[in-house]
Amino acid sequence: MLRLRRLLPTLLGCALVGACLAAAPALASHSEVTYFEGSTDLLQASSRPHAIAQLRHEGVHALRIELYWADVAPGAALATRPNFDATNPANYAWGEYDALIAEAQRLHWQVLLTVTSPVPRWATSNHKAPYVTRPDDKDFQEFMTAVGRHYASEVSVFSIWNEPNHPLYLQPQWNANGTPASPRIYRGLYQAGYAGLQAAGIANPTVLFGETAPTGYDSVKRLLRSEHSKALLHDVAPLEFLREALCLNARYKKASSCGPLSISGYAHHAYTLPAGPYYVPPERDDITIGSLSRLSSALDRAASAHAIPAHVPIYLTEFGVQSKPNKQLGVPVAQQAEFDAIAEHIAYNNSRVAAFSQYLLKDDPLGGAPGSSVHGGTVGFQTGLEFVSGAAKPLYAGWPVPLTVTKHGGGYSLWGLVRPATGATTLTVLVRLKGSSHYRTLSTVTTNSLGYWSLSSATRGQYWRVRWTSPEGARYEGPPIKAS
């Protein structure tokens, strides 16, 4: 069930019939970086030029790139580590990572580099596929030294591991008795990675902690009775993972054996369910976009326990709304554009959020149901701006000019962004009245210097959309948006 929120200040009453426009409410005082992750489209030489051209049209200014340790390490398939200086970047095959990061530099785009598994076989404790089991801290520290030496001048933000609370990326998630194992493994990897960057000559590296998936379990002790060893392949709930990784108990009291961690931000993947971005999961340790306050509160309590610095910002480094044809999690493509904009608005209104993101330009091929990946299957994401065929979804037109329309009292609150703008600009807001087949101009709006705008209106429309023309003459027209 959707939990409606009031996203903009109260609309003043108006006695006039027809359009009634109030002064735009004050916008949030902060800005946020929006990272785009294009996955294989950007990391393949054949598809990169076209993908970059698309992202420039969409208004992208920052990339998130996942660097897989096993992709670049020498002898990654060997059980025994080759004899080489692991701190020397010349001993790695950086390949397309170099090409993509160089292109980002040319375009003056920020880069967030998430260094993650799979890892070289020789760096795991069991030397078995999928090569994510207890990666060696010392090996990882040396690798991160090489990463820091190679990319220090080109990467704005580093992040340690992708979804370490998910068994696809780190194992074991649980001890044999059903208590969490992955958080302490991750803590060691984070400390090793941070030390590696310092060894590379970066005295105070900007490093994100977490990169957690949105859902999971606090314990699997009861599941062991029915699922046996399969119970150990469940995710750890993100807040349970946070507490355990920071050596905090359920009341956020820190163990004296653990010191504080230096972190620049907490990264999280706040995916939601088809119920929509306002959905709040009943499990108290799960964090979707609609329950971000849980994460803010947990970080504050962790800071009070002297486990992390105070006022740590939240980086939503991976996000997207699944669309059809995904049968389990997908919503209609028109609703995908609406939900994605609402989620960005929620993030924007939270002053703690320093970054939002879009995961995928083009959909993955369809895979199995959620959870299939840990049993050897594949789980495809249909969060892209395009179908797997390359055909555009409504989100392709909506992402550069996101729009939300919220019922408020007797009228509507509108909020949006002109993402490709490089300063204050003017756009046209259109409305289609019920029973009409045509749009008419509702208002001409001027954005702030970052491209954001808001508007209050008493016009009872059925659909709204925005239109903007760039200084170079490129025309943008968002998809039809309904009021929530």
Q: What are the start-end ranges of the E strands in 285-409?
A: 314-316, 353-359, 403-408
pLDDT of residue 7: 29
More confident residue, 405 or 376: 405
pLDDT of residue 19: 39
Residue-wise pLDDT tens digits, 445-477: 999 999 999 999 999 999 999 999 999 999 999
Least confident piece of the model among 62-66, 237-241, 370-374, 428-432: 370-374
Residue-wise pLDDT tens digits, 121-153: 999 999 999 999 999 999 999 999 999 999 999
Residue 199 has pLDDT above 60, yes or no: yes
Residues 275 and 341 in one domain: yes
pLDDT of residue 373: 63
Looking at 399, 416, 431, the residue that finishes a domain is 399
Residues 3 and 125 in one domain: no
Residues 343 and 480 in one domain: no
pLDDT of residue 29: 46
Q: Which of 103, 105, 82, 106 is nearest to 92 (CA)?
A: 82
Helix or strand (DSSP H, E) at 41: helix 40-43
Phi, psi for 292 (deg, rounded to 5): -60, -25
pLDDT confidence band for 429 (50 / 70 / 90):
very high
Residues 118 and 237 in one domain: yes
Q: Which of 354, 356, 355 is nearest to 321 (CA)?
A: 356
Residues 440 and 304 in one domain: no
Q: How many domains does the chain have?
A: 2
Residue 171 has pLDDT above 90, yes or no: yes
Kindly list the distances between the CA atom of residue 143 and the CA atoms of 197, 267, 360, in Å, as whole numbers in the listed order.
9, 21, 27
pLDDT of residue 456: 97
Q: Which domain holds residue 22?
A: 1-30+402-484
C-alpha 27/C-alpha 452 separation (Å) is: 8
pLDDT of residue 369: 75
Residues 172 and 288 in one domain: yes
Residue-wise pLDDT tens digits, 347-384: 999 999 999 999 999 999 998 777 766 666 667 899 99
Give the single-character DSSP code of 24. Answer: P
Kindly list the distances between the CA atom of residue 123 and the CA atoms of 77, 142, 220, in Å, as whole numbers in the listed order.
10, 11, 28
Residues 388 and 442 in one domain: no
Q: What percent of the chain has pLDDT over 90?
A: 89
Span 160-178, average pLDDT: 97
CATH, residue 3 = 2.60.40
Looking at 358, 380, 399, the residue that finishes a domain is 399
Residues 77 and 213 in one domain: yes
Residues 420 and 392 in one domain: no
pLDDT confidence band for 177 (50 / 70 / 90):
very high
CATH, residue 167 = 3.20.20.80
Least confident piece of the model among 4-13, 18-27, 284-293, 387-396: 4-13
The CA-to-CA distance between both ends of the chain, in Å, stands at: 13
Helix or strand (DSSP H, E) at 296: helix 292-304
Looking at 366, 399, 432, the residue that finishes a domain is 399
Q: What is the DSSP string of 385-423?
A: SB-TTSPBPHHHHHTTS-EEEEEETTEEEEEEE-TT-SS
Residues 38 and 109 in one domain: yes
Residue whose token pair is 């924007």:
348
Residues 25 and 42 in one domain: no
pLDDT of residue 355: 98
Q: Which of 117, 116, 120, 135 is nearest to 79 (CA)?
A: 120
C-alpha 430/C-alpha 466 separation (Å) is: 6
pLDDT of residue 368: 72
- Tokens (6 digits) for 236: 């750890």
Residues 142 and 232 in one domain: yes
Kindly list the distances between the CA atom of residue 471 and the CA atoms of 106, 176, 427, 478, in Å, as whole numbers in the listed order.
22, 61, 12, 18
Span 17-24, average pLDDT: 40
Residue whose token pair is 């409410």:
25
Contact between 408 and 398 (Cβ < 8 Å): no
Average pLDDT, whole number, for the chain? Answer: 93
Which residues lie below 8 Å from residue 357, measured CB to CB, with a gap of 6+? 34, 35, 36, 37, 64, 316, 317, 318, 319
pLDDT of residue 62: 98
Identity of the amino acid at 242: L
